[in-house]
């Protein structure tokens, strides 16, 4: 029994030590707390635990839909009437009257009048003409006897004789009229042809096609549509919301320790945690890590102060010390 209580004491001391570490970390936030718990009772253990923030649920009336106007449309009034409407507009029809032709004979020129040049050959005539065949000349000729010798010292006798000019008669053709051309008129050539000519030209005649009407039933508006505005009041609804009442803080609270705990209390604590759905491990009356983890999980879920097995937690689980 003393061995198990020793183990419980060590577990509680560890929990107090963890709380002390948390206190040292948050000391700057909780400077107003005193170094010792107020109104401490002999035989009790205390620890600074983390008291979660507290919230209240309040109801508030808020606007669900603002006031507005509803527009009601009053439809227009119509009636059926008969009207004569144009179904086909007036138009014009164009009729083409073809041209009338007739056959005529006409003498047409197929080749225009022209002129052409005809060569005229040259004309010649024959003339007789006496022309010099050899001009007059002097020549040496042999003498014809001794009488003609001058002296005996000469040999052959030579005489310088004048021979008269020789003429001959020739016949030749001379140009009487030189070659030329003459202009000859070539008359135009005509041909009689038969062709078709317009006797009466084509024409376009216009004829008017009158418009066509039909009687139809039409829906005519007698009274136009109007609108009617109706005021729609605002709608409200009540909503609930959480409002923080107090902030999270460190506070001295009585907890289990060696002076006020035994195996029976721990076993009943484990049984209560298990009954609430939090697993403390074996129901062995030992405040081990599994039991401490289940305690903290229960405290978080229930919004209780965390930092050890507080009397507040025992009261919430309905675990009595005696």
Q: Where are the domains of the chain?
A: 2-56+243-317, 114-186
Calculate ∠ Cα 81-83-84, nearest 5°: 165
Beta strands 91-97 and 180-186: pairing type?
A: unpaired
- Say whether 285 sits in a helix, a strand or coil: coil
Per-residue tens of pLDDT for the chain, all 322 residues: 333 333 444 344 334 434 443 443 344 444 444 677 777 777 667 777 777 777 777 888 788 788 888 888 888 888 888 888 887 888 888 888 898 988 888 888 888 988 888 898 888 888 888 888 888 888 887 766 555 555 555 556 777 788 888 888 888 888 878 888 888 888 988 888 888 888 889 888 888 889 888 888 888 888 898 888 888 888 888 888 777 777 777 778 777 776 677 889 899 999 999 999 999 999 998 888 999 999 999 999 998 988 888 888 988 999 887 6
Distance in angstroms (rounded) separating the CA atoms of residues 248 and 245: 10
Q: Which residues pair with 72 in a beta bridge?
A: 228
Collapsing DSSP to helix, strand or coil, 248 comes out as coil
Measured between alpha carbons, how far is 309 from 49 in angstroms, rounded to an integer?
A: 10
Burial of 52 (0-12, 13-18, 19+ CB in 10 A): middle
Enter the tokens of residue 64.
Answer: 């669900």
For 185, the 3-state DSSP assignment is strand
């Amino acid at each position: 029994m003393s061995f198990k209580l020793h183990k419980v004491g060590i577990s509680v001391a560890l929990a107090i030590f963890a709380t002390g570490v948390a206190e040292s970390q948050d000391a700057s936030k909780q400077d107003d707390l005193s170094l010792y718990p107020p109104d401490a009772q002999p035989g009790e253990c205390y620890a600074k635990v983390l008291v979660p923030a507290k919230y209240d649920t309040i109801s508030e009336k808020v606007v669900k839909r603002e006031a507005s106007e509803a527009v009601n449309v009053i439809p227009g009034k119509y009636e059926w009437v008969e009207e004569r409407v144009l179904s086909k507009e007036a138009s014009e029809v164009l009729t083409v009257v073809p041209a009338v032709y007739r056959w005529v004979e006409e003498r047409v020129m197929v080749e225009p009048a022209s002129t052409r040049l005809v060569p005229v050959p040259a004309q010649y005539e024959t003339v007789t003409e006496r022309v010099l065949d050899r001009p007059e000349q002097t020549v040496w000729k042999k003498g014809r006897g001794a009488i003609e010798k001058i002296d005996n010292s000469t040999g052959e006798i030579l005489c310088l004789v004048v021979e008269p000019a020789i003429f001959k008669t020739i016949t030749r053709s001379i140009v009487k009229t030189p070659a030329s051309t003459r202009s000859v008129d070539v008359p135009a050539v005509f041909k009689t042809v038969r062709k078709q000519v317009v006797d009466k030209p084509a024409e376009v005649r216009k004829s008017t096609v009158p418009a066509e009407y039909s009687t139809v039933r039409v829906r005519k508006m007698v009274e136009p549509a109007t609108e009617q505005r109706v005021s729609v009041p605002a709608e409200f609804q009540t909503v609930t919301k959480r409002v923080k009442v107090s902030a999270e803080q460190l506070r001295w609270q009585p907890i289990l320790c060696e002076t006020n705990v035994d195996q029976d209390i721990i076993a009943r604590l484990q049984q209560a945690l298990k009954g609430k759905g939090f697993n403390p491990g074996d129901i062995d009356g030992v405040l081990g890590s599994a039991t401490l983890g289940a305690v903290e999980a229960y405290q978080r879920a229930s919004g209780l102060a965390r930092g050890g097995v507080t009397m507040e937690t025992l009261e919430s689980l309905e675990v009595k010390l005696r």
